Structure 1
Amino acid sequence: MEKWTIATEAEKSPDFRRVLWTGEHTQLVVMTIPPGGEIGEEVHEVDQILTFVSGMAKAKVGGETRNVEQGDLVVVPAGKKHNFVNDGPNPLVLYTVYGPPEHADGAVHKTKEEADRLEEEGKDEPPNS
């Protein structure tokens, strides 16, 4: 059994992206987006559920934009273009579940730039891809 106090785990991670757990069908990831930063516009072939622990952002999913904050949850279905932009004064902290996994098991990306580079180099592939 894996167990976390997930909000605490997410809050203590300074990294842009940290994979906490990877299973056969899902993956748990925590993220911290600095003020003025963003996840980056993207489209996944997997479903994604994001839960916001602290901070504020503009959520853009499938052409629709909404404000999100602590306690909100956003579902991004596979194939939908999306981005989350931190428009608040504090870090945006969240945890997200991908189904199936989207990133390399145990991946830690300290910055968005590092995450983008590793993805481009093919070094952030999910297991069994």
Structure 2
Amino acid sequence: MRTNGIKIAFISTLLISGLNSPLLFAGSKATAINNKINAVISSKVFEMAKKNENWKLALVTGKDAQVVFMNISPKTNPNNEIGLETHQFDQVIFVVEGQAKSVLNGKKSTVTAGDMIFIPQGVPHNFINLNVKKPFKIISVYSATDIPENAAYKQKSDTPQE
């Protein structure tokens, strides 16, 4: 369980450093071969997330973690929200663009571009876009895979039911 926290902290640090420099996911050659996962460099990840027009888009999928772009808007989901959900893994969200009402374990607050939200496993959460004309865009880092590798869902209704 401790390694999940370390992984999230490591990935979070890399994403934050991506504001000014390339994002690096690297490990030993042996680790990459054993996991059958290649190291990934994603430059300007926040700019990439701003250009995402899909409901969900998997940027990087590893054995035990995943980075997903999300675009919450009436165009991708008529309800203009993620919808109340709970995961069996930790999640870190970076707000890239827009403003939303967050509901974490029943507690409401407002989040805006530049904010980071850590959601422990099992915590019910939802994000409701506060603007019907502009999208709420986020980068979500999961400590497990949430959607298939290279998946892109235009709208929430395209997402397979859990």
Task: Provide TM-score, normalisation by structure 1.
Answer: 0.86
Structure 2: how far apart are the matches of 1:109 and 1:90?
Answer: 19
Residue 73 of structure 1: how far off its partner (Å): 0.6
- Give the 4+ runs in structure 1 shifted more than 3 A: none
Structure with more relative contact order (C-alpha pairs < 8 Å, separation 6 or more):
1
Unaligned runs of 5+ in 1: 121-129
Structure 1: how far apart are the matches of 2:138 and 2:71?
Answer: 7
Alignment counterpart, residue 12 of structure 1, candidates 33, 51, 54: 51
- How do residues 26-65 of structure 1 correspond to structure 2 at under 5 angstroms? 26-35=65-74, 37-65=80-108
Higher share of residues assigned strand = 1
Residue 2 of structure 1: how far off its partner (Å): 2.2
Aligned residue-pair number: 118
Structure 2: how far apart are the matches of 1:51 and 1:111?
Answer: 20
Structure 1: how far apart are the matches of 2:51 and 2:105?
Answer: 31
Query: 8 Å contact 1:15–1:32 — kept in the other structure?
Result: yes
Residue 119 of structure 1: how far off its partner (Å): 2.5
Alignment counterpart, residue 25 of structure 1, candidates 60, 64, 77: 64
Q: Percent identity?
A: 32
Task: Provide TM-score, normalisation by structure 2.
Answer: 0.69
Structure number with bigger Rg: 2
Alignment counterpart, residue 70 of structure 1, candidates 93, 113, 137: 113
Higher share of residues assigned helix = 2
Unaligned runs of 5+ in 2: 1-39
